Structure 1
Amino acid sequence: MVAMKAEYDYIICGGGTTGSVVAARLAEDANISVLVIEAGEHNEVMENTIMTGGWSMNFDTDADWNITTQPNPGANSRQIKVSRGKFLGGSSGCNGTLCIRGIKQDYDDWNMPGWSGEEVFSYMMKAENFHNKPWFNSCEEAHGTNGKLDVEPHDLAPISELILDSMIDQGLPLHEDMFSTGETPCGCGHVPRTVYKGDRVTAANFLLGLGSNLDIKTNSLVDRVLLTESSSSLRASAVVVLDKDGNKSEVKARKEIIVSGGAYCSPAILMRSGIGARAELEQHGIECKVNLPGVGRNLMDHLIVFIYYETEKSGLTNDYLLYHGDAFRESYRQWKEEKRGALSTFPFGAFAYARLDERMADDPIWTKASHLEGRDPMGLTPSQPNIEFFSTECYGGPKQYADFPTDNKHAFSIICELFAPRSRGTVTIKSKDPMDNPVVDHNYLSDELDLAVLAEACTFGNEIIMRGKGTKDVVRGSWPSDLIHHTYTNREQWKPFVRENATTCYHPGGTCKMGPSSDVNSVLDERLQVRGVKGLRVADTSIMPLLNQGHTQMPAYAIGEKAADLIRENTS
């Protein structure tokens, strides 16, 4: 473990997806000293952050923050495990590897200077080093080739090819690289992945090959940021660090401190530092230095529902490469020795976006909901999708999906994802002790329109599988066999299923959002600076005023690239 110096130019609180990018870009200047403080291990000693198929083996271990939500009344009062990577590279080391950028309008909707769709997409391209394959008709102008994030297309299993056929048959036309261009709200296509030559690519790769001006302190928690008076204003001056043996130390920052703990931990760090809602901080005996009531508010996430089907046809899914007999051992050997096989990639297959205007037109919840002119009740324009579909190429998902199809059985799923959720949650702290995880209340499905739209997504997704020409003749029934969802035909039938089975897509954001000074709940300005404090920024998905209609991995990289540029502008 590196011995920390007493002082650095920049201190990055969190070595996850965004924090690693910020640190790496700043450290490219050999005259600048940078410290990354990471709560978990270095990822280089963790095989399951490199083997793409080992993602779930990080959960429920010391490599997981092991956060579980408060009971969600809208989801049958279930508590949902919202795992996050606790190691260098963070959740980029255990996510689905998906590069789904969303729609450019998503970022225009932030209405923040410097954060338009064109600008955010350009930063995604800056991070990317795209490696095409002969079969993929990519949009060359949408991809970067000089970044540190190696990305390549995913070779589909046979079941995914059939699902693409069914998507097209059910009215979702093929646009092969639509998830990179950000211009297609309805259609299906392929999703490039953060996988290259059989290994997962994570944000920790950004930190490779840098000089001695970068220190990485692992197994160390950020307790709080120290704020000092400077010319009648507050300045972030140092960080209190707690090592794995419980020892505390202070490290000073000559220039800036950047909090990159993610949507759950960044607001917690700010609160322990005395930045947040005054009444809430005082409950925990924390002196309120800056009264910012928006800290920990505006928590958003994308909910998904897995719908599984059984097929009797062998060779369509990849279950036989993982669950049948001694298959897992051979797949592990293939990855370890040859960087190929089922564990060298993530088992997601075909993807699609859809608008639901016409399908929701008969729903009174939808038709009576208030909305702005030119936008639907979810707040979206016609250029933005309401939902996403994607498929698995075998059985599997979060840990509750444990009915593995052994004994030569085969299963696959279509996953329905809700965009632009109206429900909002909170992140608070249990105490001022940094060893206590934040208290996360997602408030999932608290808005009845979220339930209605996600139930309609399930209706449509089931139609794709049960009616689409590619899959309608290969489905035996629901998986597990005691479920009967394949017979459901309308959203009212799906609603109980959604309440009982909806789970997180691991896309939390919004808890330290950017906003104009007129917004009392904004925590940051457009330069990611914490209001009322000099020398302190936040950089991760917590800064997002609204979630993108996509996945959050690529925005997290873009935020890191943009943050580094903003910081360098201050010193130029």
Structure 2
Amino acid sequence: MSKTFDYVIVGGGTAGCVLANRLSADPRNRVVLIEAGSWARTPWTVIPAGFYKLLTNPRFNWMFTSEPEPGTMDRQIAIPRGKGLGGSTLINGMIYVRGQKLDYDGWAQRGCTGWSFDDVAPLFRRIESYAGGDPDGERGQDGPLPVTEVSERPAIARAFLDAAHEAGHAFNPDYNGAAQEGVGWYQVNQRAGRRISAAAAYLDPIRHRTNLKIETETRARRIRLEHGRATGVEVTRDGGGDAFIAATREVIVAAGAVQTPHLLELSGIGCAERLSGLGIAPVRDLPEVGENYSDHFCTRMNWRVTRPETLNEQSRGLRLLREVFRYAVGRQGVLTLGTGLAHAFIRTREALATPDVQFFFMHASYANAAKRKLERKPGMTLGVTQLRPESRGTIHARTPRMEDQPAIRPNFLDAAEDRETMIAGMKEARRIVEQPALDAWRGSEMSPGPDCSTDAEWLDFARSNGQTIYHAAGTCRMGADPGSVVDPQLRVRGVQGLRVVDASIMPSQVSGNIQAAVFMIAEKGSELVLDRRG
């Protein structure tokens, strides 16, 4: 194939895989997908529990870290981003959450025409092949991405759901249906106990299309702009030198909320004053590139468990061999688990219309949460995260070199609303775990511990121990106002032939894990690109 294509897609993650599939469906379109990583050729990307190994593996994780900030006790916090075809769907917890209807209606209210929930609901249905019941008639049944409830349901997790019910929270059979609120089992993108990444769902079935070129181990260095138009992408191939890949129609950046603003800035698109200070010649002055960064901040509360029936023991010695055998024979057991088993979407105040906090229950506890190292003694964890944080941070280039990590400043817990919501969420987590249904399992509270009681102590625990749960978004904000980076058609303002299609366009966070929303954004982006052809 030639080095000239109709569409050049930068980034082979979630959005890039969807775009490559949809844009190449028309054989007249010449499409190239550029990915810095490679095809995932390891069983750890297929075995769901393999994320424990991949999250700290630089072959599959870019290993970004945040800048030390006083709001989180000057800690460097890991910001994992997937590397390779499939992107973060290779290493994430596979939890599938659409979010709340008000999330998307809020985007539309801010001027993003075409992005209300009624507009995007058909796209969610197009994505999904949902294996569960559909009491609300809201789910897709024949999409490329299989979605199913977790199959492993240990007694301790059932006890957690009973405890949540005792605390006043109703069971919800489908949090991706008509309403999110309630407790139940998480839904994950798996089929027969195997992780289904974006690459497996969208690329593998069509990878041999003659009009699609997939360039792996190829890193985009700069978008070339001529006379106000994106004409292609300058790349460096591992061991193969530099090259230029031309786009006759569009360059579509789908590198994610960390690397997309970084690439734009290195291409001269961003705050002109900031770029000049780095020695980068400004081409398009867009001050909000890299601003509006939002992520979900999570604290993990831990309890000792009185029975040796948790992942801490099941992942060692003879018990682990038994689980390996169960998985090899029937694709069952603890190796099918990701980061969440049972969920709760709750309101911390009765006056709220919808949930503002999400819980993640796992019958495991970490000696080191950042490194995913489990304790040896039995334990359980309840993760607590605020669904719609108001704090905003930044991601900006620190040098003119793509090889140098951008400066990531999440600014977690800056907004008073965020601090108050996290404190209320943690208090409710403790109240649920103290219900009678968990008496047979619950030992001592290890983290933050029973001595934590005042709001100041709760906040200190959050600042000292909280981590991101890897939902970076918002750094190339979509909007109808001239200050936004992209318009509602995802076109970069003031640059012809250039779009952004990934989590960076989100005006605000969605209520829950964001991979489902990113799949949707890519489906929507594909429609917008193809509609342009008329």
Indicate the TM-score class for this superposition, using the shorter chain for normalisation.
over 0.9
Indicate whether 1:344 and 2:336 are aligned.
yes
CA contact (8 A) 1:195 1:345 kept: no
CA 1:515/1:347 → structure 2, altered by over 3 Å: closer, same or farther? closer
Pairwise CA distance, 1:473: 3.8
CA 1:196/1:163 → structure 2, altered by over 3 Å: closer, same or farther? same
Pairwise CA distance, 1:228: 1.2
CA 1:223/1:392 → structure 2, altered by over 3 Å: closer, same or farther? same
Pairwise CA distance, 1:420: 1.9
Pairwise CA distance, 1:396: 4.0
CA contact (8 A) 1:198 1:344 kept: yes
CA contact (8 A) 2:145 2:196 kept: yes
Corresponding residue number in structure 1 for 2:92: 95
Cα distance in 1 for partners of 2:501, 2:291 equals: 16
The one-letter amino acid of 2:374's match is F
1:58 alignment partner, one of 46, 54, 68: 54
Cα distance in 2 for partners of 1:474, 1:198 equals: 27
Pairwise CA distance, 1:458: 0.7
Cα distance in 2 for partners of 1:254, 1:401 equals: 44
1:215 alignment partner, one of 204, 210, 213: 213
CA contact (8 A) 2:49 2:336 kept: yes
Pairwise CA distance, 1:450: 1.7
Pairwise CA distance, 1:333: 4.2
Cα distance in 2 for partners of 1:492, 1:349 equals: 30
Cα distance in 2 for partners of 1:334, 1:473 equals: 27
Corresponding residue number in structure 2 for 1:372: none
Q: Deviations 1:57-97 (Å, cap 9, x if unpaired)?
A: 11232211110000121111111011111111000111111
Cα distance in 2 for partners of 1:402, 1:560 equals: 30
Q: Deviations 1:157-203 (Å, cap 9, x if unpaired)?
A: 221111111111111111210x212524x421222111111110111
Cα distance in 2 for partners of 1:547, 1:336 equals: 38
Cα distance in 1 for partners of 2:370, 2:487 equals: 40
1:475 alignment partner, one of 433, 437, 442: 442
The one-letter amino acid of 1:50's match is V
User: Which SS does the other structure have where 1:216 is aligned?
Assistant: strand
Corresponding residue number in structure 2 for 1:183: 179
Counterparts of residues 20-39 of structure 1 (less than 5 Å): 20-39=17-36
User: Which SS does the other structure have where 1:240 is aligned?
Assistant: strand
CA 1:221/1:329 → structure 2, altered by over 3 Å: closer, same or farther? farther
2:258 alignment partner, one of 261, 264, 286: 264
1:465 alignment partner, one of 430, 433, 443: 433
Cα distance in 2 for partners of 1:249, 1:37 equals: 12
Counterparts of residues 414-425 of structure 1 (less than 5 Å): 414-425=382-393
The one-letter amino acid of 2:423's match is A
Corresponding residue number in structure 2 for 1:495: 459
Report the RMSD for the aligned CA atoms in angstroms.
1.9
Corresponding residue number in structure 2 for 1:236: 230
CA contact (8 A) 2:60 2:91 kept: no
Of all paired residues, the percent bearing the same amino acid is 30
Pairwise CA distance, 1:331: 2.7
Deviates more, 1:15-24 or 1:26-35: 26-35
Cα distance in 1 for partners of 2:178, 2:270 equals: 35
Pairwise CA distance, 1:327: 2.9
Cα distance in 1 for partners of 2:370, 2:469 equals: 14
Corresponding residue number in structure 2 for 1:273: 267
Tell me, which stretches of 5 or more residues in structure 1 are unaligned? 359-375, 377-381
Q: Deviations 1:440-465 (Å, cap 9, x if unpaired)?
A: 11111122332222112111101100
Cα distance in 2 for partners of 1:175, 1:338 equals: 28
CA 1:489/1:399 → structure 2, altered by over 3 Å: closer, same or farther? closer
CA contact (8 A) 2:35 2:216 kept: yes
Indicate whether 1:511 and 2:481 are aligned.
no
Indicate whether 1:173 and 2:165 are aligned.
no
CA contact (8 A) 1:64 1:85 kept: yes
CA contact (8 A) 2:367 2:374 kept: no
CA 1:284/1:496 → structure 2, altered by over 3 Å: closer, same or farther? same
Pairwise CA distance, 1:345: 2.6
Indicate whether 1:383 and 2:347 are aligned.
no
CA contact (8 A) 1:458 1:491 kept: no
Corresponding residue number in structure 2 for 1:144: 140
User: Which SS does the other structure have where 2:341 is aligned?
Assistant: strand
Indicate whether 1:250 and 2:218 are aligned.
no
CA contact (8 A) 2:134 2:177 kept: no
Pairwise CA distance, 1:337: 4.9
Pairwise CA distance, 1:400: 3.7
Pairwise CA distance, 1:403: 6.3
The one-letter amino acid of 2:105's match is D
Pairwise CA distance, 1:566: 0.6
CA contact (8 A) 1:347 1:393 kept: no
Q: Deviations 1:531-564 (Å, cap 9, x if unpaired)?
A: 0011110011100000011110100000010000
Corresponding residue number in structure 1 for 2:298: 304
Corresponding residue number in structure 2 for 1:127: 127
Corresponding residue number in structure 1 for 2:416: 448
TM norm structure 2: 0.94
